[in-house]
Chains A and B, each alone.
Chain A
Amino acid sequence: MSDRAKLTFFQVMAFVVGVALLVLTVHMVLRYGFQNHALDWWAMPHGFLYMVYLVAVALLGFALRWEIGPMVLVMLAGCVPFLSFWVEHRVTRTARAQIEARESAATGVPA
């Protein structure tokens, strides 16, 4: 898996988990606000999607040699509604720059 593929995987998972978390929020509001259990089934798939997200972050983070702190923060961002979209945007920007810098270093062409 190339670094670019890892970045794409991360982007996809960040979006999926972001949406999944919004659905989970709706579920929480329904369940604890209105005693409506219509979305009870969602919590389980959300948990598994979040696990895949963690794997995606770890893959990208290890590839780009992130520090532990930022990596954990990106992972935790998947638990805060809406935050994951913004974090995904920022991470993608810096990761892309990192990958390009690396590519130009490898090919000898200045960035």
Chain B
Amino acid sequence: MKKLSILCIVIAVVLALSACTPTTGGTDAEPTKAAQGDTTQPTKAPEKKKEISILAITFTGTPIADDEPAVLALEELTGYDIKLEFLLNSAYEDQLNTRMAAGNLPTLVAITGKTASVISYCRAGAFWDITDEYKNYPNLAKANDIVMNNISIDGRIYGIYRARPLGRNGISYRRDWLENVGLEEPKTMDDLYNVLKAFTYNDPDQNGEKDTYGMTWCKWFGPLDQISVAFGAPNKWKVEDDGSFTPDFDTPEYMEAMKYMKKLYDEGLINKDYAALETSDWTKDFQNSKSGVHIDVSDQAWRFQKKFIEEMDMPSDIVWVMGMPEGPYGKRVLPTSGHSGFVAISKDGAPKEQDMRDALNFLDICNTKEGQNILNYGVEGVHYDLNEKGELKRRKFGQDPMEGFNQFMTNVVDGLLLQEAMEPVQKRREEVILENIPYCVANPAEPLTSDTYAQKGAQLDQMISDARNQFIAGQIDEAGFKAVVADWYAQGGTQICEEFAAAYKAAGN
């Protein structure tokens, strides 16, 4: 009896302990709360500033604090008391959904894309419709109309877009490996195949072992989409002559691209387990000199190179960047949409019309020359220095003190940023972005909304990207893929095509 009761207590304690084991997600919000706590300003007490609260994205989990010099500088410039709050990128959409449901959003909210829930909340009026407002502000009025149209929902605008260069995609590769195997920078997709093959079988790191391979992929389908477009497939949708919509995966070019990818897979030029590799581990093999090509945004090249220099003591000229090589139909580049979502003004955080105008005013000041430079680079003498040519040189930090700060930066006005002193690979990257622009293939459905797509799109998209991976891994053949496409049409795809075509027509095409 006694023994049993002691054991019962033990079990109870152990159970209680097990309830305390950390779960994922729950802990994410804590550092931000801690960071949010104290915003007392010792220097300026007299004038009471208007408060503006902001929800944005952190990629590392250690975002900028409210008393960081850059935040103070922005407060000084704008005259607002800034309260920042961050959520981790990996869980941002999920947590944003729960926050929207709970109804406690701050004034400004970084929205990463037009997901079904974002569309439904915008329609229900959770965010301010600023279509008729934003033009009243001198800097915001300079925003690009095409991009503004792209972020619109039912023709209404619910925020200021977070600008991104259109031609941002590109390929990073190991320049020293290319020299070692005696090849040139690839001009065509076949050249690229040869490079990948040489990187896998010709010992590019010259250590006498077969311990390298061509290119790393991961769960995320970005690099696969870039290859599809290079092979002539449309960017998501193709508008036929009669105005009807065809999805990219129902075109023969898409099939060609998949066969190319399957060839890479079958010959071991890409990592076999890519479908199981988490996005956060995507860059590891390249960084550890196990693979030599990386298809992503072109910024990645400098990130690799910087880490090679700073953490691995490697030469400073081994990573280079290029645009997508030519496919059978010439050079075709998958652009980014010119935005990465938008910054919206929530009615929770700005209940009155005046609050909304205050928030717009804040965003307007952020788009002045001073505002953009603070958000982008921080404060001179703290985060960067200017050299004699007036070029900007960022200071080095072990941990980026301004992490996440640029996530609510909108930068709708071009040409205001200070010129940065750049390394060769960064200069090349700027060129690649410009070279890409004339070859960018636009997505005709970008500004359009389809209710069925908003509702079922995520699942339908997954069906196709699953099927593509299964095709590449050899689990299904061409007929199997066609069957999935037929299934896609049956489960709502047909409706989506029709709705997009109707919206396209209504938009005046």
A joins B in a complex? no
By a beta-carbon cutoff of 8 Å, the part of chain B in contact with chain A is none
